[in-house]
Amino acid sequence: MTVQELAEKSGVTKGLISQIENGRSIPSLPVLFGIIQSLGLAVSDFFKDMNLKEVEVLVQRKEDYNQFTKEDADGFSYQRVLVRNLPASTVDFVILTLAPGARRELVSTDAYEYKYILSGSVDYHISDVVYSLKAGDSLFFDGRLMHVPKNTGRKDCVMLIVYFFNQK
């Protein structure tokens, strides 16, 4: 279904649907219910798996990313890797190259952390759980949890890190 088709079925503008899709607008409850029903879903089914408790660690596997298009243009294929609403924050983008055998003690930061594995493989120890990740996988967690990455390969592991620091 295109954005235009959804807008028409929902009784709202294409621009509003686009703004909601891109996180620039939050729909009113009647608009949200209209969109859900336009998608052929029951409102109760739409919310059935929603966990209102904040997720401490979110792992997304490369094969689970959903591809989508935003405009009528050939060759543009998007994959949304993370959408999170956070309080006002400062964002810091970092590339980390983790050599085989590199060691560091468990640490914590005063930020939410997003890790996207560009190449290599890594075991991410967070609290008492180990998350094994490979190129294309991602991880999002509250950096106040004790954590440390350990390269599990014979080559460098390269990852994009985005820190979301709360503004106080």
What pLDDT is stored for residue 145 in this prediction? 93
Mean per-residue pLDDT, 46-56: 60
Measure the CA angle with vertex 108, ends 106 and 111; round to 5°.
Answer: 150
pLDDT digits (tens, 9 = 90+) for 65-107: 666 665 565 665 556 666 666 566 677 888 899 899 888 889 9
Question: Could you give the CA distance from residue 6 to residue 94 in angstroms, rounded to a whole number?
Answer: 37
The separation between CA 40 and the C-alpha centre of its own chain, rounded to angstroms, equals 25
Domains of the chain by range and CATH?
A: 1-49 (1.10.260.40), 51-168 (2.60.120.10)
Using an 8 Å Cβ cutoff, are 152 and 112 in contact? no
Q: How confident is the model at residue 26 (pLDDT cuts 50, 70, 90)?
A: confident
- Burial status of residue 137 (CB atoms within 10 A of its CB: 0-12, 13-18, 19 or more): buried
- Residue 111 β-bridge partners: 165
